[in-house]
Amino acid sequence: MQADEAVTAAPRLTRKGQATRDRIAAAAAALMFERGVAGTSIEDVQAAAGVSPSQVYHYFKDKKSLVKAVIAFQTTQVVQAFGAVEPRYSRLDSMEALRAWRDFAVNLERSLNYAGGCPIGSLGSELAESDAEARREVAAGFALWERSVVEGLRAMRERGELRSDADPRRLGLALLTMLQGGLLLTQIRRDTAALEAGMDAMLDHIESHLIPA
């Protein structure tokens, strides 16, 4: 499944139309990351994207449908940056790649001054109880992300590097869960101590399942 498949119920757009729509979604994503969904109005988005109010409503029938596009946008961003495609940590299929991934997360949070939390986790936290459809979209985004993390661990096991009692599915889910907790606590504490302690513990735990070479 493509992360943005869920939002293409809209009529087919021209290339220019698609570019405008994407620009509006990106502007909304940036504002909602900074201020939350409740703190972002259609007017704010319109001003930030440099379009007219009628243009926003041409592409998104209401704020809810804009939020849906933001979830799709942020899922794509997160899976690209933190999934298994970034060359830096290749397929997350070695301890070196996993440790580099951990460092990437810590450094990214520092560069963001510890603000914002996880782009999709915080949307999920804000919307889960008020917008069931948004909650499901965020859950689908996580499922996509989770698969890319599990895949790396599965490759390690298939190559005989991880013991047979290491369950890539459960370990991958636990790793993503720790990353979520770490990003949330980074946002709350304004430091990366929890993210570092948490990721190090999980990576040590995964490493303890390695078969000595």
Contact 13, 23 (CB under 8 A): no
Between 54 and 113, name the residue whose CB sits nearer to its own copies.
Answer: 113
What DSSP line would sit under 1-17, residue for residue?
Answer: --TTGGGTTSPP--HHH
Q: How far is the CB of 90 from its own copies (least distance, A)?
A: 23
User: Which residues of the chain form contacts with its own copies (CB under 8 A)?
Assistant: 34-36, 38-39, 115-117, 121-122, 124-126, 128-130, 135, 138-139, 142, 170-171, 173-174, 176-182, 184-185, 187-190, 193-195, 197-198, 200-202, 204-205, 208
Q: What is the per-residue burial (b if ≥16 Cβ within 10 Å, else e) of 20-37?
A: bbbbbbbbbbbbbbeeeb
Which residue lies nearer to its own copies by CB, 92 or 202? 202
- Closest-CA residue to 30 (of 38, 40, 42): 40
CB 24 to its own copies: min, Å: 21
**Smaller CB distance to its own copies: residue 22 or 103?**
103
CA distance 121 to 168: 22
Contacts of 109 (CB under 8 A, 6+ apart): 183, 186, 192, 195
Nearer to its own copies, 84 or 116 (CB): 116
Q: Is the Cβ of residue 24 or residue 176 nearer to its own copies in the bound state? A: 176
Q: In this structure, what is the dihedral angle of CA atoms 120, 124, 130, 132, given to the nearest 10 degrees? A: 90
Least distance from C-beta 165 to its own copies, angstroms? 11
From the CB of 30, what's the least distance to its own copies, in Å? Answer: 12
Least CB distance to its own copies at residue 55 (A): 26
* Closest to its own copies by CB, 89 or 198: 198
User: How many CB atoms are closer than 10 A to CB 13?
Assistant: 15
Chain Cα centroid distance, residue 184: 13
Q: How many residues does the chain have?
A: 213
> Considering the complex, what minimum distance in angstroms separates the CB of residue 9 from its own copies?
22
